Amino acid sequence: MKIVTSEQMNALDRAAQEAGVSIMELMENAGRAVFEKAEAMLGTPQGRRVAIICGKGNNGGDGLVAARYLKKWGAGVEVLLACSASDLKGAPKANYGSALQAGVPVEENAQADRVLGACEQADLVIDALLGTGIKGAVERSAAEIISAVNRANRPVLAVDIPSGIQADTGEIAGVAVHANHTVTVGLPKWGLLNFPGAEYAGRVVVADIGIPAAAIEAMSITAEYLDAAEVAHLLPRRSPAAHKGDCGRALVIAGSAGYTGAAALCSMGALRMGAGLVTLAVPASLNDVMEAKLTEVITRPMPETAARSLSKEAQQEILELAARSDVVAMGPGLSLEPETALLVRRLVGRLAIPVVLDADALTALSTDIDLLKGAQAPIVCTPHPGEMARLVNLSPAEVQKARASTAQSLARSIEGVVVLKGAATLIADAEDRLRVNRTGNAGMASGGTGDVLTGMIAGLLAQGMSPFDAASVGTYLHGLAGDLAAAEKGDMGLIASDLLEKVPDATIYVSEVVRQSQ
């Protein structure tokens, strides 16, 4: 599913109208979708009261349509218009008239105190005050109404985007409605996916309002929202006659004294994601530990430093192993030993198969990023914001403020794929394609979960997926595995190995979601 800016969404609205879909039809479809979500939230119309806060724009028009449907359903409805009826134009004005004809009570020029009283008495508040077009800070009267909605502390359903959230960035324009659910119309907006906007939006439903698919395709929108259908479509399929060699060979270069867990988690991530064979290159003195930890993984003891990390002398043996592999995952738990960092820098330029880089490997390369630009093989980097900051010479705060552009810039620079981890992980490639993932939860903020992701991406690459698709599918399923684990165990105390157990369930889940929708 594509992700749009407010300007792109406006262009799609115009394209739909040029294709014969009127603004009245678009607004009717949007308002009906809002009603359907409100209906699901309320359960029954009997004794239910709904307060709908409407502005003068198309967002308010959507709210007026929803009011008409709610009235017909039998719920008690009250519309509080934050302007005079004379301020309404076009489709919102027409739907104002239709709402009155349907018997919907509409109060004009509603002030904050009146809004507060109505919201406190409501079972549901629908926020149709401001839309995607706000620029700068919310003006005072609207800000007071938004504050009143929040103070009422009632369930809130936002139309398109919570009022006060910048549609293109997710930033708060001074103050914003804190919604439980949002029905966004047409396509998802960036402000619903970026934080803090994502937190204010609650659970987001995307409503099809009738924009022709041809109009969307003609826009050449490069940003996509990952969903189960896309992931299920991309997942590799196994032949009934497949053997382990057909499913790919992954080489993991990881681990050092004190960090054997990182190597184990990464290796198991590759196996759980379907790699046929996984080999772990590990410091020689740790080999017995790894053999005890890993039943299904082949371990290869390598020359080591005095600190029990991989030595530069391991280079030739690793290259020989790589020649018999389909992908390399490198970085988890390697350590920051200077000699190990030198090994990483030497290997990157010599490996001829796809390489997934994480953790200490990224730190080793941050001092000479040109090595990534000159790599022979496809590169997938999986930094968290701190690692990204070192790679691009910015502060973590600067990275977080411009996540999409930073990820895309690095991907273009290294002609590879960048997975910028976070609450909404971004996957970017050198062709300016961008995917956003929203699976995952706060319980995954614990050591080792990133090592699992590195292994999962490598496991998919081993099976022949393209770097961009492998990074996308791996990221989605990694987050979904975390969600499934949290549903059973809660998000307090969730650990990385909990995710490993749920990876097969995650693949089954996406396939089942698609099957049920057909």
The C-alpha atoms of residue 467 and residue 473 are separated, in whole angstroms, by 10
The C-alpha atoms of residue 266 and residue 279 are separated, in whole angstroms, by 11
Q: What are the CA-CA distances from residue 426 to residues 324, 364, 419 (Å)?
A: 31, 22, 6
* pLDDT above 90 (res 342): yes
The C-alpha atoms of residue 408 and residue 412 are separated, in whole angstroms, by 6
* pLDDT above 80 (res 514): no
**Considering the entire predicted model, what is its pTM?**
0.90
Residue 23 DSSP one-character state: H
Instruction: Tell me the pLDDT of the chain averaged across its residues.
Output: 96
The C-alpha atoms of residue 27 and residue 90 are separated, in whole angstroms, by 11
The SS3 assignment for 487 reads helix
Per-residue confidence (pLDDT) for residue 250, from 0 to 100: 99
Per-residue confidence (pLDDT) for residue 299, from 0 to 100: 98
Q: What percent of the chain has pLDDT over 90?
A: 93
* pLDDT above 80 (res 518): no
pLDDT digits (tens, 9 = 90+) for 469-495: 999 999 999 999 999 999 999 999 999
Per-residue confidence (pLDDT) for residue 53, from 0 to 100: 99
Determine the Cα angle at 180 with ends 178 and 185, to 5°: 95
Place of tokens 């530990």: 289
The arithmetic mean of pLDDT across residues 279-308, rounded, is 98
pLDDT digits (tens, 9 = 90+) for 36-45: 999 999 999 9
Residue 227 DSSP one-character state: -
The arithmetic mean of pLDDT across residues 247-255, rounded, is 98
Full DSSP string of 392-449 = HT--HHHHHHTHHHHHHHHHHHHTSEEEE-STTEEEEETTS-EEEE----GGG-STTH
**What's the pLDDT band for 226 if we cut at 50, 70, 90?**
very high
Per-residue confidence (pLDDT) for residue 416, from 0 to 100: 98
The arithmetic mean of pLDDT across residues 76-101, rounded, is 98
Phi/psi for 318 (5° steps) reads: -65, -40
Of the listed ranges 51-60, 130-139, 338-347, 490-499, the least confidently predicted one is 130-139
The arithmetic mean of pLDDT across residues 120-125, rounded, is 98
**What's the pLDDT band for 195 if we cut at 50, 70, 90?**
confident
Domains of the chain: 6-221 (3.40.50.10260), 248-467 (3.40.1190.20)
- In the chain, the amino acid numbered 294 is L
Phi/psi for 418 (5° steps) reads: -120, 130
* pLDDT above 80 (res 311): yes
The arithmetic mean of pLDDT across residues 509-518, rounded, is 80
Q: 205: part of which helix (H) or strand (E)?
A: strand 203-207
Kindly compute the dihedral angle of the four CA atoms of residues 426, 427, 431, 433, in this order, to the nearest 10 degrees.
-60
pLDDT digits (tens, 9 = 90+) for 10-53: 999 999 999 999 999 999 999 999 999 999 999 999 999 999 99
pLDDT digits (tens, 9 = 90+) for 350-383: 999 999 999 999 999 999 999 999 899 999 999 9
State both tokens at 294.
Answer: 């890993």
